Amino acid sequence: MDFLGGVRRNWRQFDPPVASKQEDALKFGILGAANIVPMALILPARSHSQVIIHAIAARDKTRAIVFAKKHGIPVVKNSYEEILDDPAIDVVYIPLPTGLHLEWALKALSKGKHVLLEKPATSNAHEAEILHHHRLLNQSSEGPILMEAFHSRFAPGWQQFLAVLDPPNVSHAIAKNMVPSYIVSDDDIRFDYSIGGGALLDLGTYPLASIRDAFGAEPEECIDAKMTPMAPPREKCDHTFYAKFRFPNGGIGEVDGTLRAPKTHFSLPTITVTHKPVPAQDGENKASDKGAEVTRTRKVTFCNLLWPTNYHYVTVEDKFEIRDAGSSTVKREYTKTETKKAYTFRDMGRDAAGETHWSTYRYMLEEFVNKIKGRKGSGVFVSHEESIAQSRALDMIYEKSSLGLRPTSKRVSEFA
Ligand SMILES: NC(=O)C1=CN([C@@H]2O[C@H](COP(=O)(O)OP(=O)(O)OC[C@H]3O[C@@H](n4cnc5c(N)ncnc54)[C@H](OP(=O)(O)O)[C@@H]3O)[C@@H](O)[C@H]2O)C=CC1
Ligand SMILES: O=C1OC[C@@H](O)[C@H](O)[C@H]1O
């Protein structure tokens, strides 16, 4: 049943129901016929009654025409600028290489457009501060909304994972993400330093955001960073990364990932979080242990950091140790293990919109539109401060390694 449910859920994510569009639907324009567009926006938009994919532009118009025809986009513009100049367009989606995000996001905001900006929002923290603190964002309560498209954060499964953590008492977190080498070719935008290349800046954003979330705090120091660079001429870009951080509570967080795992490698991106032992709460331990000192050490594993809406699990392993009052000797111990899953917020007892066929991107689109329309929604959002903090942590790793920071846009002086 679970297996069949999974097949149905995944099938429908790639063939979602079509909603009829409301009068006040937002019209989206897309900059670039990027690979991620169908999954991140075209499919999610189908089932959203307040989203219309109105127009696209690509550097090569023929490419844009082919893309528009394939995905049923009614308008093809001659250039990215023409998208920004179209008064009919409310929102601009930017799936460009990271090094172009700052420039195009600010150009779109300056035309009064809302912006959904692919992750990572910027190449480094300097750019992040310019973008997310920009006066264009604070002009009025009606001013444009900008959000980094960090889709995985919006999934109920991820929120279920966060709900079982006790961030101040986390002692260790390790997040891993290994992608086989055939997925991303050597000439991909991810390995072009001039436009923000580097596996950490691309893939590493997921494990890094997840350890930051697990500690509920920002890292104080990057105590180790090891990057494996590409072969020349791409040697300024890492294909494999490892970093170790110390967090304010003394805990250690590690990220480990690669875009060059062996071709036969398969593993889902996973985080494992260990807590310090804490006194067990009333009702958690067995009635027979009343009067004794009972500690609980929690270990939580979350499997599928990127796309939990396709498949995930959260395993909560609580180890209880029982001592006589005042004694350090453990007289008995036992472990309780529970597995949780949440494909909708209802599954975790929360009252927020969602269907089992919603992808991470569909959950994100819901909240992005809610924000523009001034609705409360699930309460999940990617704030400007979150995007800046994530960018600072990425910089800490690049600075600690021999590779150095990713380059700031040459156009930066025009925007500061
Ligand atoms: N949210 C997610 O799950 C994912 C997010 N991403 C992010 O989305 C963005 C795009 O990734 P992806 O779709 O894989 O990338 P692609 O290489 O498929 O697309 C990038 C697009 O950028 C445009 N572009 C403009 N200038 C340049 C340039 N100088 N060099 C190359 N391309 C240029 C091209 O548009 P044109 O059509 O005009 O030529 C191209 O279509 C990245 O920021 C990436 O990190 C990527 C994958 C997954
Ligand atoms: O955001 C992403 O998600 C999937 C990864 O394989 C990809 O490199 C990255 O851009």
Q: What is the pLDDT of residue 283?
A: 73
CA-CA distance, 318 to 341, in Å (whole number)?
Answer: 17
Pocket flag, ligand 2, residue 203 (CB < 6 Å): yes
Q: How far is the CA of 2 from the centre of ligand 1 (A)?
A: 35
Tell me how crowded residue 60 is: count the other CB atoms within 10 A of its CB.
10
Residues of the chain with CATH 3.40.50.720: 13-151
Give the Å distances, CA to CA, from 16 to 83, 298, 362. 27, 38, 10
CA-CA distance, 205 to 211, in Å (whole number)?
Answer: 10
Take atom 3 of ligand 2 and give the residue whose Cα is closest: 203
Ligand with the closest atom to the CA of 97: 1
Take atom 4 of ligand 2 and give the residue whose Cα is closest: 203
Residues of the chain with CATH 3.30.360.10: 153-350
Closest ligand 2 atom number to CA of residue 206: 1
Q: How far is the CA of 31 from the centre of ligand 1 (A)?
A: 9
CA-CA distance, 121 to 89, in Å (whole number)?
Answer: 21
Tell me how crowded residue 68 is: count the other CB atoms within 10 A of its CB.
21
CA-CA distance, 293 to 323, in Å (whole number)?
Answer: 5
Ligand with the closest atom to the CA of 189: 1
Give the Å distances, CA to CA, from 54 to 42, 319, 416. 11, 54, 31
Take atom 22 of ligand 1 and give the residue whose Cα is closest: 96
Pairing verdict, β 26-31 and 51-57: parallel
Give the Å distances, CA to CA, from 416 to 102, 133, 361, 387, 411. 11, 10, 31, 18, 9
Take atom 7 of ligand 2 and give the residue whose Cα is closest: 203
Q: What is the pLDDT of residue 288?
A: 67
CA-CA distance, 242 to 147, in Å (whole number)?
Answer: 27
CA-CA distance, 119 to 143, in Å (whole number)?
Answer: 22
Pocket flag, ligand 1, residue 98 (CB < 6 Å): yes
ipTM attached to this prediction:
0.98
Amino acid identity, position 225: A
The whole-angstrom distance between residue 164's C-alpha and the CA centroid of its chain comes to 19
In the chain, DSSP finds a helix count (H) and a strand count (E) of 13, 15
CATH number of 13-151: 3.40.50.720
| Positive/negative CA dihedral, 111, 115, 120, 126 | positive
Pairing verdict, β 146-149 and 170-180: unpaired
- The residue to mutate among 63, 67, 189, 368, having the most atoms of ligand 1 within 8 angstroms of its beta carbon, is 189
Q: What is the pLDDT of residue 394?
A: 98
Location of structure tokens 């995944």: 10
Digitized pLDDT (tens) for each residue of the chain, 416 residues in all: 588 999 999 999 999 999 999 999 999 999 999 999 999 999 999 999 999 999 999 999 999 999 999 999 999 999 999 999 999 999 999 999 999 999 999 999 999 999 999 999 999 999 999 999 999 998 667 789 999 999 999 999 999 999 999 999 999 999 999 999 999 999 999 999 999 999 999 999 999 999 999 999 999 999 999 999 999 999 999 999 999 999 999 999 999 999 999 999 999 999 999 999 999 987 776 666 777 899 999 999 999 999 999 999 999 999 999 999 889 999 999 999 999 999 999 999 999 999 999 999 999 999 999 999 999 999 999 999 999 999 999 999 999 999 999 999 998 888 77
CA-CA distance, 4 to 337, in Å (whole number)?
Answer: 25
CATH number of 153-350: 3.30.360.10
Tens digit of each residue's pLDDT (9 = 90 or more) over 247-277: 999 999 999 999 999 999 999 999 999 999 9
The DSSP-derived string for 203-251 is TTHHHHHHHHHHHTS--SEEEEEEEEEPSTTSTTSEEEEEEEEE-TTS-
pTM given for the model = 0.97
Take atom 24 of ligand 1 and give the residue whose Cα is closest: 96
- Contact indicator for 362, 47 with CB cutoff of 8 Å: yes
What secondary structure letter does DSSP report for 330?
-
Tens digit of each residue's pLDDT (9 = 90 or more) over 308-317: 999 999 999 9
Pocket flag, ligand 2, residue 306 (CB < 6 Å): yes
